[in-house]
Amino acid sequence: MNGLNVQEVSWEDLKTLVSSKGLQLQYESTSLLYRVYAVEFGLYLYTTIWKSGATLPVGVDPATNTAARTDFENNYLASANAAILNKQILCDPESGSPLEIIEVGGKNYLGVSLKYDPTSSGVQEVRLRDGTTTRLAAVDSSGRLATTTNVIIPETAVSVNRLASSDLAGSDDDDYLIPNGKVLTIARFGAGAEANSGHVTQALLYHDPNGDGTGMTLLREIFLGPGDRNYQVDLDLEFTGDGTAQIKMRRNRLDGGSDLVTAYWDGFRDA
């Protein structure tokens, strides 16, 4: 099986795994046997059930095989071989319960489940489990997925978190020098402002290749008007440091007055 970890199990064990993990039972049939199997996360689990009249190989218990054949033919054969649902995308769509991590070959695989209401708004919630915590996301009325997660930092990377927060009447810059030879990933950019009716706040994120404010590339811009006090956007931007290039985060008050203005970006870089 290309790319699959193949494991032979007993019929009873295969039934238990299929039931507990919500897998779809599949089978292949020859004149002598059934090859019954299920696939999950690159793992191919199978058992062999010999048909009536077949000569059993050495080591196969006749009574156990007969019980397995009777059970499979009477209770599973008719419903097997339905379309396989890729559990890496969708699991347990009705209950919405977070899935436990499935360990295969010493590796932990991410569990995913959806809370789905086909009679009203469709997908309402996505639950992701990575072995440490349950991370939630919501689907808004326009169908966009709005996550409520922390930035996930690779094990070999260093977290980078920039925050600028102060009373502001004009403009202020926060500069981050990308370390030479390191790859920086920016995963999130956000801004917030004091609830002061009538004031407008702007937050901008730039790549500053020369480190002096010239030749900059605008990466993202956030406007906060009256009533819009907080906004955040997920990003996936990468930059390699050369000892000069910076990430510049700029906060602006656009209509006078002084309010508390906050801007931030989060990400990670090579260690």
Q: What tens digit of pLDDT does each residue of 138-151 get? A: 554 455 555 545 56
Name every residue whose Cβ is closer than 8 Å to that of residue 82 and which is 6 or more positions away in sequence.
Answer: 24
- Which residue type, as a one-letter code, is found at position 57? P
Paired tokens of 217:
């590339």
- List, in sequence order, the alpha helices (H) in the chain: 11-21, 62-75
- Cα of 134 vs its chain's centroid, Å: 11
Helix (H, G, I), strand (E, B) or coil at 73: helix
Helix (H, G, I), strand (E, B) or coil at 67: helix
Instruction: Tell me the domain boundaries of the chain.
Output: 5-75, 102-147, 157-270
Paired tokens of 151:
């930035």
- Which residue type, as a one-letter code, is found at position 152? I
Give the side-chain half-sphere CA count within 13 A for 255.
10
**Structure confidence at residue 82 (pLDDT):** 67
Q: Can you tell me the distance from the alpha carbon of 69 to that of 98, in angstroms, rounded to the nearest whole number?
A: 34
Q: Can you tell me the distance from the alpha carbon of 11 to that of 135, in angstroms, rounded to the nearest whole number?
A: 35
**Structure confidence at residue 117 (pLDDT):** 46
Q: How many residues does the chain have?
A: 271
- Which residue type, as a one-letter code, is found at position 91? C
Tell me the fold of 157-270: Jelly Rolls (2.60.120)
**Structure confidence at residue 3 (pLDDT):** 52
What are the pLDDT digits (tens) for 74-113? 999 988 886 544 333 334 444 444 444 434 334 344 444 4
Compute mean pLDDT per 10 residues along the chain, 271 residues long, and list them: 73 91 86 89 85 92 96 92 48 43 40 46 46 45 53 79 90 95 92 73 94 94 76 88 96 81 91 85
Give me the sheet containing 43-50, strands edge to edge.
5-8, 43-50, 33-40, 26-29
Q: Is the pTM here over 0.95, yes or no?
A: no
